[in-house]
Chain A
Amino acid sequence: MALKMVKGSIDRMFDKNLQDLVRGIRNHKEDELQMLGYDISWAAFNIIEVMSASKFTFKRVGYLAASQCFHEGTDVIMLTTNQIRKDLSSPSQYDTGVALTGLSCFVTPDLARDLANDIMTLMSHTKPYIRKKAVLIMYKVFLKYPESLRPAFPRLKEKLEDPDPGVQSAAVNVICELARRNPKNYLSLAPLFFKLMTSSTNNWVLIKIIKLFGALTPLEPRLGKKLIEPLTNLIHSTSAMSLLYECVNTVIAVLISLSSGMPNHSASIQLCVQKLRILIEDSDQNLKYLGLLAMSKILRTHPKSVQAHKDLVLQCLDDKDESIRLRALDLLYGMVSKKNLMEIVKQLLQHVDKAEGTAYRDELLTKIIAICSQGNYQHVTNFQWYISILVELTRLEGTRHGHLIAAQMLDVAIRVKAIRAFAVAQMAALLDSAPLLASGARRNGICEVLYAAAWICGEFSEHLQEPQQTLAAMLRPRVSALPGHIQAVYVQNALKLYTAVLQRQEQAAPDPQDAPPDADADADAADAPGAAQEAAQLLLERLPQFVQSADLEVQERASCVLQLVRQAQKLQARGVPVAAELSALFAGELNPVAPKAQKKVPVPEGLDLDAWINEPPSDSEAEDERPRAMFQEDEPRHARPKAQEADDEELARRREARRQEQANNPFYIKSCPSPQKLYQDAPGVDHIPVVCIDLSVPLRVPGLPASEQYVKLEEERRHRQRAEKGGRKHRKKDKAGRGGRRGGSLPDSDEDIAPAQRVDIVTEEMPENALPSDEDDKDPDDPYRALDIDLDRPLADSEKLPVQRHRPVAPPKSPKKEAAAPKERKSKKPKKEKGRGRDRDRDRKAQALDLWLCSTPPAEPAESTALGTPSLDTEVPTAPQQPSEPCPDEGDREPEAHKKPHKRKKQRQEKERSGRDKKSRKKRAEDGPPLGTGALEEAEEEPLPPMSSYALLAENDFVRMTYEVRGSLQGGSQVTVSLVLENLSSHVLKSLELGVLDSLNARLARPPGASAHDGVPVPFQLPPGVSNEAQFVFSIQSVLTAQKLKGTLSFIAKNDEGSTHEKLDFKLAFTCSSYLVTTPCYSDAFAKLLESGDLTGSCVKVDGITMTFRNVLAKICFHHRFSVVERVGSCASMYSRSIQGHHVCLLVKQAEQSVSVDVKCADATLLGSLLDELRATLSAC
């Protein structure tokens, strides 16, 4: 269908008729709207043609089409320049307006350059309607042609004080938009805006200005100081929530900018927080959301004042609105401190359990991790607790963030040395536990955790209590169902574990050949010889399974490990100690490297990275076609030097050599030890006592949430700590005496809580003399960068906007050109010292601003007095201020109307059936589709009035003729006239014959051979009192207009007294409605039809209708053969089709006492005819 439409419009495109063009374009415009994906570029020429039409009607459509389809890539756009210029200078303000509106959507750099001057002229147009549009479009012009900003700026500034509020608002709009991108250039406007802020009553303008101030204050703290008072006044006085909210926002921005300078603003902060609390507690979800949003801004600088409202934020976590919950989570992120971290995380974990939907649960999970890990774990005081939280999180079902948890586990285990023993124990338990191996876990990706667990157990195996058990767990057959990269880690770390077992054994019994185990050795050592053998045996048994893995990485590692173990076993059997050599494979510490480290390496002097080292290769040789490293993806993860079997001396020697080499190599990122790291390496860190790990806490993973216990432990610890502090001396924290019970009354600030573990958070390594990172975030492609223009500098001649000449050859020079400088200097400031004129001027402006900023309120008495009584209570009625108030009409009426049809569907169907039965009493040969009239009949208040489509044709003493005309889509261009003849006399009527005078347009179908003047016999006789129906077919040429045919019924009336020839003349009227055939139409098809733009429209409105809407619709359906497409309340769209396929669409709306009907039809003539008929019908209602 859509294709057909497009094809049709293409056909029309070639027609040069303007009207068809318009329709064709509209067709296309709407196609694009519907985004059917057709390329409209071919229609561009036609659009331009319509744009250049002289009539406003066409022009408007043309510009609309252009604004929808044209963009910078449209070639033909350059052809429009002169047309647009012509329209811009049109005497009609609406032509100009339409051109400006259109241009705003497709302005290109070329158009902007060529038209900038014309638009600038329009900024001073007499009509505010044009002025505001011209002002607004200037922003688009600036964007595309930044050179125009300086010449146009003075006038733009002037418009800030335009008498028309619309123009003023537009100017504020544009300047705010400009200033948002490059605020520093607009600081000098601050006094003007300040004046506007204190004088304007238009909330829209106020909001914009206040937002602008929010952008300016960070650059000029003094401005902030000046703003606080009027803003506070506004906050107190305004009733518009939108304004209040923006004021609070800007006050926050001011406070942030002041935070360093002036500490004495707690009153303002309190006011903001207090107002925000009101917003958050409001029942309007929008205010709640925004309140949380603003709260998070305060949080950054004044966390304390927000933390007081923790209850409120936690309460929001229960909100039914997910975006509010997420906002609350964001807030929590900033609210945590050492003191409340555990409590908040506990609450979050409860929410995790309650949360429905994995998306939110995942969000919670990531937030928990983010909250705990922020700022290098600065709030975590007890890493045992954190590890146990992570372990708890692995029990979450269906989370996608297994890798995140894994990364945290790895990070913590690597960076917090003191926690390793504990972490290893927990990880070993994780490896042992079955649930993570379940297939569900594999699908969800929570099994990623095993990756971390296996690695931690292997890498820090010296902390492992029972390496054999862990080894066994890692070699279970079910492991082979895990993803490849996890299996690979398993295999690799199995070897580490084996090494660990071996090492322990060798340490316990230096000579394994020395037969029986020593009785004094501990249990571990006693089993040792057996343990190592067993481990080796286990590996040899299970590894072949991995050797057969489909994953190459697993396979390779497994083979490697298998051979190594065999070798080790052999050597061991001969009594050679192998543990040392095996462990050399895994020697070395891992340190995290900052993600930006590579970028920060300074380029050494004299090195030009862009210079060719060799002659450039010819173009045809594509460098990147070289096959890439196959295992590249896995490489970084498992990167670990596969050390050669070299003895320690050799290794040390090599290491030293390499260090030397690196020291001289400028490209090598040196691992310059950070202070922390140095500290970490110092002895003693490892000996920092750890709170009772193994005694009170069972290292069980499944079952009860373990983290609870750590919370308790931590509390106890803090308690003890406090007690100690209360004591006279600072003793070592964990050797605490049990005595100190009091001290709970002491308010413990964050700083007081010493961490349980020394957090050796190794800062990420950076290369030496890393570059400062200021330039990191600037985007060279930022379109707003070009608008970073000094506006206070006086205008040079070269910057004048190009005025249209006959042949605009070269674009004007850039304003940056220095050439213009001397002239300017001469003219403006002859006395000033040369060469610094510009700067001077700028200085002067800056001084003016300074003066304004420094002035105390009394310096501007007019403003200050205005501040006290801002006229904001008298809000402009036009600016909408009550967001919570629903539209009175829509809110109530429509949902109700929507429900109705549902409830009554059944009734309606019954009604429909009975209605049709009634009608079908009169038999008709060709019945239209049944859906037509039935579709709308609802059992509303009153029953439908009886309706008959049979109209009286003619009547005399003998006979009465009634008729009905009915079209059919099958019969081509034909209608059937059903003629009911009723014998009113006591005669028998026979030889009835119908004679009709054909017109060019309508012909009676006669039997073959009959001439155009012959009558058609009626196939029955009529005894007295009897009526019968005959049908005659007429073929119709044009259905566009109604018409009448003259005709005669001739018959013989016979009774006992004899028979007479009688005649009855009639006029058979064919209305346009009679050419319509009830055709059902789906609303989609209906919408598409209207979008096609093929239809022309008109409307009629009839007053004084008291009939119910339903009956009106029923009448239209019945008399005009329409069907209802959709009905919404007292508005309905209807559809019908002529026998020649013209579409007719209606929009019927009932207001009080009146009904309006909009008609759209494929043919304007038919449309007119139908409109008249509809009006007649409605008038009779």
Chain B
Amino acid sequence: MILAILVFNNHGKPRLVRFYQHFPEEIQQQIVRETFHLVLKRDDNICNFLESGSLIGGSDYKLIYRHYATLYFVFCVDSSESELGILDLIQVFVETLDKCFENVCELDLIFHMDKVHFILQEVVMGGMVLETNMNEIVAQMEAQNRLEKSEGGLSAAPARAVSAVKNINLPEIPRNINIGDLNIKVPNLSQFV
């Protein structure tokens, strides 16, 4: 089982925090901090496993991490997971991110917080590994993005609607224009992801 997945940058700023077991917020915060300090003091050329900190689990748990440029990806797992397998899984996760965001970097994780979570949900579910096939993960993500786009996204459609209206170059636009129900499909905007 995977107990937690933490991603933070070289300065300890959390970029993705996912716990598969409930911890109160302050404990989560402590865990992230402790994990960061444990991981930070390790050189890049030493092994990627370490006994987990005092807060998470016990001796059965291990921290397995990888360090990419500015980001640390840390998985806290118990003994039922294969260490090298999890290292590979991290690699799969990162490569998937890379595929979905095209040259993923830390800024993507900041900018697309929700999407990163959705991708993770296709890899790990409730602390168990759901899928390790990258193509499958990417395919499912794309299908869901298409679905989202067909629904107009969170608010992309209204924005398009307004800019369309603007292009008509009306002298003035009423202030409280209510276009929340407009549902315009924007097929030509599909380059994203």
Contact = CB atoms under 8 A, between A and B. Distances in A.
Interface of A: 17, 19, 22, 26, 30, 32-38, 55-58, 60-61, 64, 68, 71-73, 92, 94, 100-101, 104-105, 107, 129, 132-133, 136-137, 139-140, 165-166, 169-170, 173-174, 176-177, 180, 203-204, 207-208, 211, 241-242, 245-246, 285-286, 288-290, 320-324, 876, 878-881, 883, 887, 889-891, 893-895, 897-898, 999-1001, 1037-1038, 1040-1044, 1084, 1086-1087, 1090-1091, 1093, 1096-1101, 1126, 1128-1133, 1145, 1147, 1149, 1151, 1156, 1158, 1160, 1164-1165, 1167-1169, 1171-1172
B84 A290 contact: yes
Given A1129-B105, A1168-B159, A880 B91 contact: yes
A1131 B103 contact: yes
**Among B87, B103, B151, residue most surrounded by chain A Cβ atoms (within 10 Å):** B103
Contact of A1126 (B107, B126, B129): B107
B82 A180 contact: no
A955 B14 CA distance: 55
Contacts, number: 292
Contact of B166 (A321, A1041, A1131): A1041
Interface residues of B, number: 92
A550 to B, nearest CB: 34
Contacts of A893: 69, 103
B84 A241 contact: yes
A241 B87 CA distance: 12
A1165 B89 CA distance: 41
Contacts of B158: 1164-1165, 1168
A1138 to B, nearest CB: 15
Given A207-B85, A879-B132, A1000-B172, A1101 B192 contact: yes
A897 to B, nearest CB: 8
Interface in B63-113: 68-70, 80, 82-85, 87-89, 91-92, 94-95, 98, 102-103, 105-108, 110-113
**Among A204, A1129, A1130, residue most surrounded by chain B Cβ atoms (within 10 Å):** A204
9 contacts: A57-B148, A60-B148, A101-B121, A890-B94, A898-B69, A1041-B162, A1090-B110, A1098-B159, A1168-B161
Contact of A285 (B46, B68, B95, B130): B46
B192 A1099 contact: yes
Contacts of B45: 285, 320
Interface string B158-176: 1111110111010111010
Nearest to A285: B47
Contacts of B68: 887, 890-891, 894
A1131 B105 contact: yes
A323 B50 contact: yes
A1168 B173 CA distance: 15
Contacts of A94: 143-144, 147
Contact of B32 (A35, A61, A889, A1151): A35
B192 A33 contact: no
Interface in B127-149: 127-136, 140, 143-144, 147-148
B55 interface: no
A279 B145 CA distance: 43
B173 A64 contact: no
A467 B17 CA distance: 65
A895 B191 contact: no
B117 A139 contact: no
Interface in B23-52: 25-26, 28-29, 32, 43, 45-51
Contacts of B133: 165-166, 876, 878-879
A1172 B186 CA distance: 14
B85 A242 contact: yes
A101 B20 CA distance: 12
Contacts of B103: 889, 893, 1129-1131, 1149, 1151
Contacts of A1097: 153-154, 156
B183 to A, nearest CB: 10
B180 interface: yes
Contacts of B94: 887, 890
A286 B20 contact: no
Contact of B22 (A72, A320, A880): A72
Contacts of B1: 177
Given A61-B154, A1099-B189, A1149-B103, 19 more contacts: A36-B25, A73-B22, A104-B127, A174-B128, A177-B80, A204-B85, A207-B85, A246-B82, A322-B46, A880-B132, A1041-B162, A1041-B173, A1084-B13, A1096-B156, A1098-B153, A1099-B191, A1100-B189, A1158-B192, A1168-B160
Interface of B: 1, 13-14, 16-18, 20, 22, 25-26, 28-29, 32, 43, 45-51, 68-70, 80, 82-85, 87-89, 91-92, 94-95, 98, 102-103, 105-108, 110-114, 117-118, 121, 125-136, 140, 143-144, 147-148, 151-156, 158-163, 165-167, 169, 171-173, 175, 180, 189, 191-192
A1091 B113 contact: yes
A596 B14 CA distance: 45
Nearest to B130: A136
Contacts of B160: 1098, 1168
B78 to A, nearest CB: 9
Contacts of B152: 57
Contacts of B169: 1043-1044
B76 to A, nearest CB: 16
A1164 B82 contact: no
B11 to A, nearest CB: 9
Nearest to B84: A242
Contacts of A1171: 159, 163
B41 to A, nearest CB: 9
A894 B105 contact: yes
Contacts of B18: 68
B51 A323 contact: yes
Contact of B17 (A35, A140, A1042): A35
A981 B152 CA distance: 46
Given A1038-B175, A1087-B110, A1158-B111, A878 B121 contact: no
Given A26-B114, A242-B82, A166 B136 contact: yes
A1073 to B, nearest CB: 13
Contacts of B108: 1131, 1147
A1090 B111 contact: yes
A137 B32 CA distance: 26
Nearest to B22: A71
A211 B80 contact: yes
**Among B18, B87, B89, B105, residue most surrounded by chain A Cβ atoms (within 10 Å):** B105
A1147 B69 contact: no
Contacts of A140: 126
Contacts of A1151: 102-103
A133 B130 contact: yes
Contacts of B29: 35, 37
Contacts of B175: 1037-1038
Given A890-B94, A1165-B159, A104 B47 contact: no
Nearest to A73: B22
A882 to B, nearest CB: 8
A64 to B, nearest CB: 6
A878 B134 contact: yes
Given A32-B25, A180-B80, A170 B130 contact: yes
A517 to B, nearest CB: 65
B155 A19 contact: yes
List the 4 shortest-distance A-B pairs measured between CB atoms, nearest first. A104-B126, A894-B69, A242-B84, A1168-B163
A286 B87 contact: yes
A231 B46 CA distance: 30
**Among A22, A174, A1096, residue most surrounded by chain B Cβ atoms (within 10 Å):** A1096
B136 A37 contact: no
Given A245-B82, A289-B47, A880-B91, A64 B70 contact: no
**Among A34, A288, A323, A1165, residue most surrounded by chain B Cβ atoms (within 10 Å):** A1165
Nearest to B64: A286
